[in-house]
Every structure is written in C-alpha cells, then in structure tokens.
Amino acid sequence: MLDVAANCTVCVNTVTVALNITINTGSSVPIYKQITEQVRLAVATGKLVVTDQLPSVRVLAESLVVNPNTVARAYADLAREGLIETRPGRGVFIIPKRKVMSREEGRRRLEPLLNTLISEGLAMNFSPDELQDAFEKKLSQWQNEKGGKQ
Amino acid sequence: MSDQPVIRTRGLTRYFGAKCAVHDLSLEVPRGCVFAFLGRNGSGKSTTIRMLLGLLRPDRGEASVLGTDSRQLPPELRARIGYLTEEHQLYGWMSVREAGDFQSAFYPRWNEKIFRGVIGHFGLKPEARVKHLSRGMRAGLCLALTLAPDPELLILDDPALGLDPVARRSLVESMIYLTRRSDRTIFFSSHHLSDVERVADYLAVLDYSVLRACCPLESFRTSVQEVQMRFAGVPPPLPTIPGFLQAFRTEHELRVTCVHYNRETEKALRSLQPVAMEMVPLGLEEAFISYLGERGEKTFILSDTEVAS
C-alpha cells in the first residue's frame, strides 16, 4: 500500500477544496474507480459539499500522476450519477444530488455490500449482536461528522 | 490526416538466422494516445521498435510511421520522432548544458524551455559533467534531449530500465506532461505495470514473437478473470474449460484464471460442483502474469514421492 500513493491538495481561487485522493496501482480496483469512490466518499461524509469546486481534469491528473483520460472517465461517471457538473470555462462543481437510481436498484446494489459485511464479520467470530452494535455506532459517527461540516 | 494511425504495421516479420524474432505483427497506434508495448524479455519488442524506425529491415510485411514507410523515413520526418533507447550516446566530458546545446544544433524545433524543465525535474544541474551523473540522472538527461525537439511521436524503448522509484516517477510525470498537447503520441515498452497502469490508454502484448493482445488497458484487465472455488473434499480434476489459462489448487480450493469468461466457462466450472464459487477481480499485473505465464495447473502441495526424493 505504501509504494505508489500520491496525495493531491488543490487550491482553487474562489473555494479551497482539500481533496485527498490516494491512488494505489496494482489494485484490482481500476484507477478511475478509485477516484470516483473517493469523491463519492468525500461527499457522503460531508468533506465535499454542494458548490465546492473540484480540480480540473488536467490538474488532478498531473497531481495524481495518472493519465488525464482516466480522470476524465471518473468525472464522466460522477457526472452521470448526478454528483458533479462541469460548467464550461468555470470548472467542475459538486451539485445537489439528483435521484438517478431507483429505490429498487439501490437495494439491489446494497445487497452484496451487506452480504460481505455480515459474512466477513461472522467469519471473524463477531456475534450478530456485536455486528449490529458496531454498525449502528459507525452510522451515528458518520451522521455526526456530516452534521459538523454542514 | 489526423485519423490516420501514427504507427501501422502489417504482417511485420523478422528472423535472426533461423530464429523468428517478430512474427506477422499487425497493429495500429492512434494519434494522441499513450500506448504501452508489453512482453517478456526477448519477446521481440526492441526488434519491432527498430523496424518501426527503419533501423532494421523486415523480412516480410511492412511498417509505417507518421504515414511514411519506415524504410524511407526522410530526415525531416525523423526530426518529428523522438526515440529513446537504453544505450543513448552521451559524451562524458560534456556538461549537461553542453549536451543540450550540442543536440539542439540538429533540431530546428528545439525547445529550450522543455529541456530545462525536464533536467530540472530530474534534479540535474546544467553545469554537471555527464560522466559524473548517476544512472537516474543520465536517464533524465537522455529524456530531456529526446523531448526538447518537441516530437510528435515519442518512442521509448524500456525507458524505466534500471531506474530507482523516484527517477521512474519523474519519467511518468514527464510522460503525462507531454499529453498536454493532445496530438502527441507516446509508444513505450516497459516491465513496470504500475507505471503502465498510470499512463497508458492502450496496450499491446507480444509473447514469443507473436501479438497476443492489443486493446484498451481496461479491456485487457477485465477480460482476464479469476474464479475461486471451495470444495468439501479434494478438488476434482479439471475438465476442458473454454478460455482456460491457469489453475492453482490447495487442499480444498481451486483457483482458476480464464480469459473471456462466459456462460460456457461458468457451466464447465459449475459442473465440478464446488460448495462455494466466487469471482475475484484481478489487478493489471495479476492479469498480465496469468495471461503470459505458463499454461496449466500448479500446486504447492508436494506429493509423497517428491518429499521422499
């Protein structure tokens, strides 16, 4: 994990966004996905909020030392999800989340994540009660963090 | 004009004596991309590159670069190609600045800003003597000399060879810097798949003189798939599996890698009746090793006879 990570702190003139994205090469997660996941996480935890500006494709690519097309692909995915918007001549911005995924589709995607959590947790000898407890604690911790920023 | 591939080969073939070095190679490199040329040592990469540049005659087939037959590249076209080899000729008695001045005399499009930028990026002082440079610094100087003429097409033959991680990073950064001009094309060979993952749009894989893959980087990674199966007892022998690459067995597990996993592959694997079966995504390096490694089954369990001997 230590070998090839790059941090990116980007300052934009109007709004300053500290975007700490870490890229791991050799991972089974493609680089464009590592970027989308970390932006999504930053939005979910409130580190990035609506109207925050993201670095341009070129700036992010050079600071992460990855091909600009990879960053462009990540941004295109995020735009398709309705998380960001590129305003020509002005930059890339976090926008209010539109509901682009149906509730049913969301449930379908949530299912495997829950399965992983439960099966890995049980395999580590946690009881169902302990798992539930840990899950709830984490959830309230996230809510608090998000509340702190907004 | 711009739709035309920057590099195109058709049935390119070259022998050294009886040994085939490159066999029937056909590939196209689109303008404006970063193209990684991969393969194990001795697979024919350097031979191909030398044919592209007209330094070696093909026995069969043809190659063209920037729309012109490689065997007839005029000097003005060569000036638009940057070529970096492992054995770049440098004069030890020159300083870094003198090496730049000397090289610039041959190139009308020499850009001193690029030269200074790259040597600065590699931490080189203009007054340093070439003979006192470390390997990484020499590589930086060679790269600066290759990039300063602002080539349309950059051909790098294993530029990362022998470089430490810091110098390699500088190399990758320089390559990304070059993509600022969207009409610039980079064709490079490398064994460092982590660098390839960072910069390449496309890759081609040469194996024992034959082209085995040529596609976008992501397509290559996703076309190689690992399946992990768990069994109650000893895993059964493998049937014929479409796209089979490698299998690895342990006491109760069987890990199989396949290319172009499809319903037929799945049917064949399910017929083994595993108690659990899971698809595991692979990283680029793992996919590459599975794809080019020896085909067949491997195990870490020594049989009794092997232990006894």
Query: Residue A44 and residue A94: Cα distance in Å, rounded?
Result: 12
ipTM metric: 0.85
Query: Cβ separation of A68 and B176 shorter than 8 Å?
Result: yes
Give the closest-approach CA distance of A147 to chain B in angstroms: 36
The label of the residue with tokens 């040469």 reads B206
Query: Residue B35 and residue B199: Cα distance in Å, rounded?
Result: 9
The label of the residue with tokens 């931490």 reads B123
DSSP-assigned states of every residue in A4-31: T-----EE-SSSEE-------TT-SS-H
Per-residue tens of pLDDT for chain B, all 309 residues = 557 899 999 999 999 999 999 999 999 999 999 999 999 999 999 999 999 999 999 999 999 999 999 999 999 899 999 999 866 678 999 999 999 999 999 888 899 999 999 999 899 999 999 999 988 899 999 999 999 999 999 999 999 988 889 999 999 999 999 888 888 999 999 999 999 999 999 999 999 999 999 999 999 998 999 999 999 988 998 888 888 999 998 889 999 999 988 888 989 999 999 999 999 889 999 999 999 888 777 765 554 444 443
Cβ-Cβ contacts under 8 Å, B283 against chain A: 26-28
pLDDT at B239: 86
pLDDT at B151: 94
Give the closest-approach CA distance of A58 to chain B in angstroms: 8
Contact A85, A95 (CB under 8 A): yes
Query: Residue B271 and residue B279: Cα distance in Å, rounded?
Result: 16
Query: Residue B43 and residue B22: Cα distance in Å, rounded?
Result: 8
A71 and chain B in contact, CB less than 8 A: no
**Residue A126: what residue type?**
F
Query: Residue A84 and residue A106: Cα distance in Å, rounded?
Result: 19
Query: Residue A105 and residue A107: Cα distance in Å, rounded?
Result: 5
Give start and end residues of each alpha helix (H) in B148-228.
165-178, 193-199, 217-223
What's the rounded mean pLDDT across residues A125-134? 92
Query: Residue B50 and residue B47: Cα distance in Å, rounded?
Result: 5
Query: Cβ separation of B221 and A58 shorter than 8 Å?
Result: no
Query: Cβ separation of B198 and A61 shorter than 8 Å?
Result: no
- Across-strand partners of B13? B60
Scanning A24-43 for CB atoms below 8 A from B yields 25-31
Architecture of domain A3-94: Orthogonal Bundle (1.10)
Query: Residue A54 and residue A84: Cα distance in Å, rounded?
Result: 9
Per-domain residue ranges of chain A: 3-94, 103-145
pLDDT at B133: 92
Give the closest-approach CA distance of A35 to chain B in angstroms: 13
**Residue A62: what residue type?**
E
pLDDT at B113: 92
Distances (CA, A) of B15 to B12, B21, B48, B54, B60: 11, 5, 11, 16, 9
pTM: 0.81
Give the closest-approach CA distance of B307 to chain A in angstroms: 34
Structure tokens at B193: 């798949």
pLDDT at B297: 75
Query: Cβ separation of A67 and B180 shorter than 8 Å?
Result: no
Instruction: Label residues B72-95 b or e (16+ Cβ within 10 Å = b).
Output: ebeeebbbbbbbbbeeeebeeebb
Question: Which residue among A3, A27, A65 sits closest to B176, beta carbon to beta carbon?
Answer: A65
What's the rounded mean pLDDT across residues A23-37? 93
Query: Residue B98 and residue B130: Cα distance in Å, rounded?
Result: 9
Torsion sign, CA atoms A124, A125, A128, A134: negative
Query: Cβ separation of B165 and A3 shorter than 8 Å?
Result: yes
CB contacts < 8 Å between A and B, how many? 51
Cβ-Cβ contacts under 8 Å, A29 against chain B: 281
**Residue A124: what residue type?**
M
Lowest mean pLDDT among A62-71, A77-86, B205-214, B296-305: B296-305
Q: Considering chain A, what is the average pLDDT of its residues?
A: 82
Contact B22, B212 (CB under 8 A): no
Query: In this prediction, what percent of chain A has a pLDDT beyond 70?
Result: 83
Give the closest-approach CA distance of B94 to chain A in angstroms: 32
Chain B contact probe: residue of A32, A65, A116, A119 with most B CBs at under 10 A: A65
pLDDT at B136: 87
Residue of A nearest to B186 (CA): A67
Question: Which residue among B200, B281, B285 sits closest to A26, beta carbon to beta carbon?
Answer: B285
Cβ-Cβ contacts under 8 Å, A27 against chain B: 283
Residue of B nearest to A28 (CA): B283
Chain B contact probe: residue of A1, A28, A37, A115 with most B CBs at under 10 A: A28
Q: Say if residue A2's pLDDT is above 80.
A: no
Give the contacts of B300 (CB within 8 A, at least 6 positions apart): B250
Residue of A nearest to B287 (CA): A28
- Comparing CA positions, the residue from B224, B240, B285, B233 lying closest to residue B254 is B233
Query: Cβ separation of A29 and B281 shorter than 8 Å?
Result: yes
